[in-house]
Amino acid sequence: MGPWLILWQNLMKLPNLPLRHPDETLYSLVARTRLMNGTQSDWETCAALFGPTPVRRIADIPVNFTYFCEATDGVYGSRAALVRDATAIPFFRSLGRLARDDSPNGGQRCQPQPPRNKDVQKPCGLAIISHGGIHNWRFCPACREEEISAHGVPYWHRQHQLPATLKCAKHGRNLVEGHPPKSTRDGRLWLPDAPTLVAQPVAVENEKGLTQSTILIRLAQLSGSVLVAPSWSSSAGRVITTIRHALGTRGLLTAAGRIRRDDFLLEVRRWFGPLARVPPFATLLGTTNLEQLVQALSYTRPIRTCSEILMLIDWLFGSWDTFLFHRDWQEVMETGTIGANAPAGCATVGHRNRRRQPEQTFDAARQAHRNTCVAFCRGQADASRTQFGRAHPKSYQWLRRNDAEWLNMQFPARVPQPRQEQLFVER
């Protein structure tokens, strides 16, 4: 840290730091810090915690974890602990939904970095990194009452902000969506008790209320498990192949590995029927969306939203732990530790052992070329497809011809730097 930054840090030192509550988001912690140090403005509080920045919109303030740890004398733990405990990153990474983070070697490309000068506005904004979205955050009225009576001030919970979470897993109450008035929301820090906060319930109970409620609580608990799971790293491709495998064992894949559309739709609608009129699920269960989902699953393409992934996991595996078990088993099968001849596309089981010899040779070659690629990417976080092609032309050509889908996931098409709203692929 340069002398100017040290001087700045000393000038901006915040005298009071609040205790962090369980499951509290980083944004919420910053908002309460601002409350405890009443004389400063919202922007000054952010600048004191994350370093000087030209960004004035509070939601977009770049999160510099290194600076934050120094400014708070490490009272909230290390940078890794903060990412794990106070941000939405573990959730999105577990589902393979962090933008530019589809590599199997653990998403090193999208680790939150201290902002560099040229992209100071770009990396990870405070609201996105904390809540996964810029506006319309959710809170549980029962949690809020408890917090007001215990601490005087409520706070934002990470679990309440997760996709497909419309109920509080602790109280079973419908969450309420709160957003500040449009005219003022960009320049302020908000907590769920702000008098001007516009609040509205997110889920409407219908006549099948009890069943609906059970499913919503189950989904909320599933989201919570994904968030706090100790191992958080999945590639988008791995998530889909695991889901496809489970569909295969239920007889919902054809011999060619496509989805049996009619049976699949019937099952999904039977399982999630009670959610058909609850706003976000109504769209997801609509014909257009389900057709897209069938296509994605048939051709191992990325699934559009986190909510759809969660619904599939809830239906096919029941819990996140069971999903992880199947995912890891799948990985072992593919990397050859137990059975080297398992096809990656997870065709039906009866299909697996046909033409064993050519498959074995093909799988061994594919694994060798994939390993070359993974090893290459591990050495350089921002490696490009061209660089890989120059360094390992044989592996590159082989993968391009025979394993293009996997290769594309390692080197996603270059797109303009994602806007703050798009840091996570889809909430």
Contact 135, 126 (CB under 8 A): no
Q: Which residues contact 390 (CB under 8 A, 6 or more apart)?
A: none
Name which position in 5, 142, 332, 381 contacts Zn ion (CB under 5 A). 142
Q: Does 143 bind Zn ion (CB under 5 A)?
A: yes
Residue with Cβ nearer Zn ion (119 or 145):
145
Task: Return the SS3 of 98.
Answer: strand
> How far is C-alpha 219 from the chain's CA centre?
15
Q: Does 220 bind Zn ion (CB under 5 A)?
A: no
- Residue 166 C-beta: closest distance to Zn ion, Å: 12
Contact 232, 90 (CB under 8 A): yes
Identify the residue whose tokens are 């099968």. 333
Q: Does 170 bind Zn ion (CB under 5 A)?
A: yes
- Residue 138 C-beta: closest distance to Zn ion, Å: 10
Q: Which two tokens stand for residue 249?
A: 């064992």
Number of residues forming the site for Zn ion (CB under 5 A): 6
Q: Does 135 bind Zn ion (CB under 5 A)?
A: no
Side chain identity at 264, as an amino acid letter? F
Q: Which two tokens stand for residue 140?
A: 């549980």
Beta-carbon-side half-sphere exposure of residue 280 (alpha carbons within 13 Å)? 17
Q: Which stretch binds Zn ion (CB under 5 A): 41-49, 92-100, 163-171, 265-273?
A: 163-171
Q: Does 176 bind Zn ion (CB under 5 A)?
A: no
Q: Does 171 bind Zn ion (CB under 5 A)?
A: yes
Q: Does 175 bind Zn ion (CB under 5 A)?
A: no
Q: Which stretch binds Zn ion (CB under 5 A): 28-36, 168-176, 268-276, 369-377?
A: 168-176
Residue with Cβ nearer Zn ion (169 or 239):
169
Residue with Cβ nearer Zn ion (68 or 139):
139
Contact 86, 158 (CB under 8 A): yes
Residue with Cβ nearer Zn ion (160 or 245):
160
Q: Which residues contact 163 (CB under 8 A, 6 or more apart)?
A: 132, 223, 305, 306, 307, 310, 426, 427
Q: Does 311 bind Zn ion (CB under 5 A)?
A: no
Count the neighbouring beta carbons within 10 Å of the beta carbon of residue 48: 24
Residue with Cβ nearer Zn ion (128 or 176):
176
Task: Return the SS3 of 374.
Answer: helix
**Positive/negative CA dihedral, 310, 239, 315, 281:** positive
Q: Does 188 bind Zn ion (CB under 5 A)?
A: no
Q: Which stretch binds Zn ion (CB under 5 A): 15-23, 87-95, 127-135, 170-178?
A: 170-178
Residue with Cβ nearer Zn ion (171 or 218):
171
Q: Does 168 bind Zn ion (CB under 5 A)?
A: yes
Contact 131, 190 (CB under 8 A): no
Ranges of H-type helices in 37-76: 42-50, 65-71
- Residue 332 C-beta: closest distance to Zn ion, Å: 39
Q: Which stretch binds Zn ion (CB under 5 A): 133-141, 246-254, 306-314, 320-328?
A: 133-141
Residues that bind Zn ion (CB under 5 A): 140, 142-143, 168, 170-171
